[in-house]
Amino acid sequence: MKLSIIGAGYVGLVTGASFAELGHDVTIMDIDDEKIRKLEKGIIPIHEPGLDRLIDKNSDRISFTTNMEQVVREADIHFICVWTPPLEDGSADLTAVRSVARELGKNFKKLKAKNQIVVTKSTVPVGTGKKIRALIRQTYKNEFSVVSNPEFLRESQAVADMMRPDRIIIGSNDNIAAQKVAEIYKDVKAPIIITDLATAEMIKYAANAFLATKISFINEVANVCDLVGADVEQVAEGIGSDKRIGKSFLKAGMGYGGSCFPKDVRALHQFSNDSGYDFKLLKSVIEVNEQQRNLIIDKLNKHLKIMNGKNILVLGLAFKAYTDDVRESVAIDVINRLQKEGANISAYDPLALINAQKHLGEDVIFVGKAYDGAQGADAIVIATEWPNFKDLDWPSIKDLMRKPLIIDGRNLLDPNEMRRMKFTYEGVGRG
Cα 408 to Cα 106: distance, rounded to the nearest angstrom: 53
Residue 168 CB-half CA count within 13 A:
21
Report the nearest approach of ligand NAD to the CB of residue 103 (Å): 7
- β-bridge mates for residue 120, sequence order: 80, 148
- To the query of whether residue 225 is one of the catalytic residues in this protein, the response is no
Cα 240 to Cα 249: distance, rounded to the nearest angstrom: 9
Which residues in 17-46 contact ligand NAD (CB under 6 A)?
A: 29-32, 35
Residue among 93 and 414 whose Cβ is closer to ligand NAD:
93
Q: Does 79 bind ligand NAD (CB under 6 A)?
A: no
Which residue is catalytic, options 51, 232, 260, 317? 260
Residue among 128 and 346 whose Cβ is closer to ligand NAD:
128
Amino acid letter, 87: L
Residue 212, C-beta contacts closer than 8 angstroms, at least 6 positions apart = 256, 261, 264, 265, 285, 289
Report the nearest approach of ligand NAD to the CB of residue 208 (Å): 8
Which range, of 79-87, 129-137, 314-322, 340-348, touches ligand NAD by CB under 6 A?
Answer: 79-87
Question: Residues binding ligand NAD: what is the number (CB under 6 A)?
Answer: 26
Report the nearest approach of ligand NAD to the CB of residue 397 (Å): 32
SS3 assignment, position 279: coil
DSSP states along 317-358? -SSSTT----TT-HHHHHHHHHHHTT-EEEEE-SS-HHHHHH
- Residue number of the CB closest to ligand NAD reads 9
Residue 174, C-beta contacts closer than 8 angstroms, at least 6 positions apart = 145, 146, 147
Q: Does 260 bind ligand NAD (CB under 6 A)?
A: yes
Cα 118 to Cα 220: distance, rounded to the nearest angstrom: 42
Which residues in 138-157 contact ligand NAD (CB under 6 A)?
A: 151, 153, 155
Report the nearest approach of ligand NAD to the CB of residue 399 (Å): 40
Q: Does 160 bind ligand NAD (CB under 6 A)?
A: no
Q: Does 120 bind ligand NAD (CB under 6 A)?
A: no
Q: Which of 12, 105, 255, 373 is in the footprint of ligand NAD by CB under 6 A?
A: 12
| Radius of gyration for the alpha carbons in the chain, expressed in angstroms and rounded | 23
Residues noted as catalytic: 260
Q: Which residues bind ligand NAD (CB under 6 A)?
A: 6-12, 29-32, 35, 81-84, 96, 99-100, 122-123, 151, 153, 155, 259-260
